[in-house]
Amino acid sequence: MSGTDHGKDEGWQGPVPTFILVRPQMGENIGAAARAMWNFGLDRMRIVAPRDGWPNPKAVAMASGAGRVLDHVQVSDTTAGALEDLNFVFATTARNRDLTKTVMTPERAMEHARAMISKGQKVGVMFGAERAGLENEDIVQANVLISVPVNPAFASLNLAQCVLLTAYEWRRQVGDVVPEIIDRGLTRYAEKIEVTKLTERLEERLDQIGFFWPEQKRGSMVENIRNMMSRLPLSDSDIRTLHGIFKALAERDPKDYKNGR
């Protein structure tokens, strides 16, 4: 999916959580994480002890289009250093830990994040390195764990995917997104009178060709057609189209219709 519109940059402001990548290895994965974040309007990234140093040209190349995330990145030597000013920190993890710690779904975690951020708290989410994930020494610094409810028989989210799902949940929680736009692109729905006239005209034509047979079923057949027509989300131009179709079909020789069945 792509459909970037640089004219629509406003409206995605406001405080957001900080995402902290702990000891990431490949620059490409840092760049992919930046892209995943910026897809959902998150631009605050911190990095703890990146294996290949910083800045990292491969991260910048991969982040193409989401460079603003890397422009403002803060790099620390230690996890504690990256968390210093934060009020509440989540740690993403898949493995069970022996540590006593509350575990939330991304959904619940981002609900909490929204509540805390709306009160001016600074919230962070830690993500571990590509293979190893977070170490216990990182985990103990978090308030709460986030565990994505993946298939217990196949849990293989990579760094950028884990970032993506968390960022998506953040945006889902705070976003003012209309969940359903019914019939986008429609100029207007037909007025009921237009639907009624189309239906009546159709019934006339069907009567002319002896469609309503046997006679005792006429009532229910008409009712079904009327119900169907009123149920369809027809536009004004659909009405014109259907008038044309019915006319074209009906004005064949009636014998054609009967023979053609």
**Interface residues with a second copy (CB under 8 A)?**
1-6, 8-9, 11-12, 35-36, 38-41, 65-66, 92-105, 107-108, 128, 131, 133, 145, 148-157, 161-162, 164-165, 168, 171-172, 175, 177-186, 235
Q: Closest separation between CB of residue 157 and a second copy, Å?
A: 4
Closest distance of CB 29 from a second copy, Å: 13
Query: Quick one: tokens of 85?
Result: 């000013």
Tokens of residue 53, six digits: 């140093």
Output the six-digit token pair for 188. Answer: 């207007």
Between 208 and 230, CB nearer to a second copy: 230
Using CA atoms of 26, 155, 163, 101 in order, give the dihedral in degrees to the nearest 10.
-110
CB of 136 to a second copy, least distance (A): 12
Q: Please state whether the peptide bond connecting residue 179 to the residue before it is cis, i.e. omega within 30 degrees of 0.
A: no
In angstroms, give the least distance from the CB of 187 to a second copy: 8
Q: Based on CB atoms, which residue is closest to a second copy, 52 or 107?
A: 107
Instruction: Give the count of beta carbons closer than 10 Å to the beta carbon of residue 1.
Output: 3
Instruction: Give the shortest CB-7-to-a second copy separation in angstroms.
Output: 8
Least gap, CB of 14 to a second copy (angstroms): 13
Q: At what angle do helices 192-208 and 236-250 cross, to 10 degrees?
A: 10
Closest to a second copy by CB, 9 vs 84, is 9
Tokens of 96: 């069970």
Question: In which order are the strands placed within the sheet that holds 45-48?
Answer: 74-76, 45-48, 18-22, 123-127, 88-92, 144-146
Select 206 or 239, whichever has its Cβ closest to a second copy.
239
Q: How far apart are CA 73 and CA 113, in angstroms?
A: 21
Name which of 103 and 250 has its Cβ closer to a second copy.
Answer: 103
Question: At closest approach, how far in Å is the CB of 199 from a second copy?
Answer: 20
**Distance between terminal CA atoms of the chain?**
45
Q: Which is nearer to a second copy, 37 or 206 (CB)?
A: 37
* CB-facing half-sphere around the CA of 134: CA atoms within 13 A: 30
Q: Which residues contact 140 (CB under 8 A, 6 or more apart)?
A: 99
Residues ≥6 apart with Cβ < 8 Å to 172: 107, 110
Residue 103 token pair: 């575990």
Would you say 101 or 205 has its CB closer to a second copy? 101
